[in-house]
Structure 1
Amino acid sequence: MRYFLISLSAIFLFTACSGKKYFEPEDVSSNIELNKESMSSSITSMNKIGATLDNKKVITAQGISSFELPEKFDFLNVSADGKIIATNYINKILIGNEERIVKDVVVAASLKDNKLALVYSNNTIELIDIKTNKTLYKEYLPISLANDTRITNPYFMGNLILFPTLNGKVIIVSALTNESIRNISVDPDSEFNNIISLNVIDGSQTLIVASPNKVVSISSKEIITKNYEVRDIIVNKEDVYIATIDGQIIKLTPSLVEVTKKKYKYAKIHALGFSDSLYAVESQGYLINLNHDFTDDRIYKFSFDNKERMIAIGNKIYFDSKYITLP
């Protein structure tokens, strides 16, 4: 009987593995120049806008830093005047070369005009004047027990400070009065619902906010919400691009009207990047390139270890201890 159960378990395991589906494009091109550049170390932590390497150098939109963070600190953000903000995930943050003691674990931070906006791991948000060390605003929000690792930073938008919370909300605070003026629920009900992306489209003064399950467009005229299971989201000029868990790549307007979309069967998109056109990295070792209106796509072989960390910033894709510049 014991041997029968072992054999039966093996059959079920084999059936489950053999039934797993993978993205297998029919037409794969090799006509692309993808020169891999080596980094001095591999990625150990990252968020939407940057990463920390094992040797404590950081990756930002400006590329790989020449300096190194102190031990046990990880990159969070870049201040308005170009200073790196980092956290030790215990009781300190780093702003440039200055270490500051904080009251709890900081998971997101932004700095502009001496105003430091913080999001703590217990979902408390705080605004501090770093000149006087005075708390200008603080709010204790419900603790979020389960979070997507893609935590995004507060955003300074004119005279407003947007705090993306860990429980699916955006708290808008006036930088003039230091008071909360609006509370927007993006995704209050899902299990993983922290804000993973927050972008402003300058031309239409529209805020694009995403949780793992929803995308919200916020303008002076309206708030529009759409349900998407988001693998990645980027904004390029006036266009919003989303990759979903079920292999779709979707182009939307600032008001979330779907312009065009394309589905890749069984595809698992790791990251979206943009050069002169849109690129998507697929987990089985492919790079998908789509033209402006998605009427033409090309799929290239792109070998990488899909278990390693990967981040796309602009036209560069960083993975493990290498990176490429999109053509």
Structure 2
Amino acid sequence: MRHLLILISAIILFTACSKKQYFEPEDTLSFNKSTKSIDSDIVSFNRDGATLENGQFISAKGVSKIKIPEGFQFLNLSEGKVLSTNIKDKIYVDKKEIVTNTAVVAASLKDDILAIVNSDNSIMAYDLRDGKIIFKEYLTKSLANDTRIAAPYFMQNLILFPTLDGKILVVSAQNYKVVRNIIVDADSQFNNIIYLNVVNDTLIAATSKKVISVGDGVLNIKQYDLRDIIAHGKDIYLATIDGQIIKTDISLNVMNRKKYKFAKFYALAYGDSLYALESQGYMINISDDFKTDKIYDFSFDEEDRVIAFGDTMYINDEYVKLK
């Protein structure tokens, strides 16, 4: 009986695997932009950058020649200062070591105030001048998180803290009191905030399941299974798990969309127009009006780590400019 059950399980697994379907475009082009080496592999990444095996890091400013301390991972480049963590109990602000006693997963800096999100889903503000915590709030613990954890955002006299349980806590930077609690996603398991940005005075935030915009006192919520989200100008671009590429305005009204059957997207970038990296080795370029597209053959391994900033996409130990 035991052998029979093993045989049945093997048949079911083989059948399931054999039915797995992949994106297979009929017409493709040779990719017309050259990739360049960055001489080291990406070993970890978040929404704001990536750590390289050689100790250097990638941020929105490109590949830095600065090396972070051994055993640490890049968090953010904020006000020109490198923030890194040992994912245990310390954070470095450039060469200044701060003992946190908790693993830091996201951080930002403004005017010597360090805004931090910890792995236990506590948030805090730390005054670098006085060397003390001036604000701390504990939230519901999150047991599973998407690695693309968004960093806190300083907006005028406010600090926007993205939490690991799908919220944004708005804290006054004057008296360090919580002034608003915005719930982005209270339903899904992996519901940490993976995107937080202010576009044309409108707050855009997302988890892997939901996207919100908050502007002029109006809250808009849309439900998508997201692979990636970026902003370019006043437009928001989404890649979804079911193979859609969607263009919306800042109120999340859909302006255009395209569907690519069985496509699995890894990253979006905006060069001369929108680009989407697909898992089976394709780079899709969509015109700004979404009326035409070009599908290029592109060397890519699903095991490669990918991060994109602006018009540049970094893939394991290489990068490509898309403009």
Say which of 222, 229, 237 aligns to 1:241.
Answer: 237
Amino acid at match of 1:187: D
For residues 89 and 265 of structure 1, the distance between their equivalents in structure 2, rounded to whole angstroms, comes to 39
Aligned with 2:15: secondary structure?
helix
Amino acid at match of 1:28: T
Aligned with 1:23: secondary structure?
coil
For residues 141 and 222 of structure 1, the distance between their equivalents in structure 2, rounded to whole angstroms, comes to 25
The aligned runs of 1:47-196 (5 Å cut-off) are 47-80=46-79, 82-196=80-194
Distance 1:99 1:2, change over 3 A: closer
Query: Scaled by the length of structure 2, what TM-score is found?
Result: 0.97
Matched, 1:253 2:249: yes
**How big is the shift at 1:49?**
2.1
For residues 276 and 53 of structure 2, the distance between their equivalents in structure 1, rounded to whole angstroms, comes to 26
Conserved 8 A contact 2:48-2:151 = no
Conserved 8 A contact 2:247-2:257 = yes
For residues 9 and 129 of structure 2, the distance between their equivalents in structure 1, rounded to whole angstroms, comes to 65
Distance 1:4 1:107, change over 3 A: closer
**How big is the shift at 1:212?**
0.7
2:37 corresponds in structure 1 to 38
**How big is the shift at 1:10?**
4.3
4+ long deviations beyond 2 Å: 1-14
1:300 corresponds in structure 2 to 296
Amino acid at match of 1:162: L
Please list every run of 5 or more consecutive structure 1 residues that lacks an aligned counterpart in the other structure.
Answer: none
**How big is the shift at 1:309?**
0.8
**How big is the shift at 1:2?**
7.0
Deviations 1:103-156 (A, max 9, x none): 311111000001110111101110111100232221111111121111110000
**How big is the shift at 1:6?**
5.6
For residues 9 and 176 of structure 2, the distance between their equivalents in structure 1, rounded to whole angstroms, comes to 61
The aligned runs of 1:199-238 (5 Å cut-off) are 199-202=197-200, 205-238=201-234
1:290 corresponds in structure 2 to 286
**How big is the shift at 1:317?**
1.1
Amino acid at match of 2:98: R
Deviations 1:20-55 (A, max 9, x none): 10000111112x422121112100000112100011
Aligned residue pair count? 323
**How big is the shift at 1:14?**
2.9
Amino acid at match of 1:177: N
Conserved 8 A contact 2:88-2:101 = no
For residues 241 and 321 of structure 1, the distance between their equivalents in structure 2, rounded to whole angstroms, comes to 26
Deviations 1:43-99 (A, max 9, x none): 00001121000111001111111121111110001112x111000111111111211
Distance 1:2 1:235, change over 3 A: same
Distance 1:103 1:37, change over 3 A: same
Larger deviation: 222-231 or 97-106? 97-106
Say which of 308, 311, 317 aligns to 1:321.
Answer: 317
For residues 8 and 205 of structure 2, the distance between their equivalents in structure 1, rounded to whole angstroms, comes to 48
Amino acid at match of 2:241: I
Amino acid at match of 2:61: Q
1:273 corresponds in structure 2 to 269
For residues 2 and 98 of structure 2, the distance between their equivalents in structure 1, rounded to whole angstroms, comes to 61
1:11 corresponds in structure 2 to 11
For residues 125 and 76 of structure 1, the distance between their equivalents in structure 2, rounded to whole angstroms, comes to 15
For residues 181 and 310 of structure 2, the distance between their equivalents in structure 1, rounded to whole angstroms, comes to 30
Larger deviation: 33-42 or 103-112? 33-42
For residues 218 and 45 of structure 1, the distance between their equivalents in structure 2, rounded to whole angstroms, comes to 31
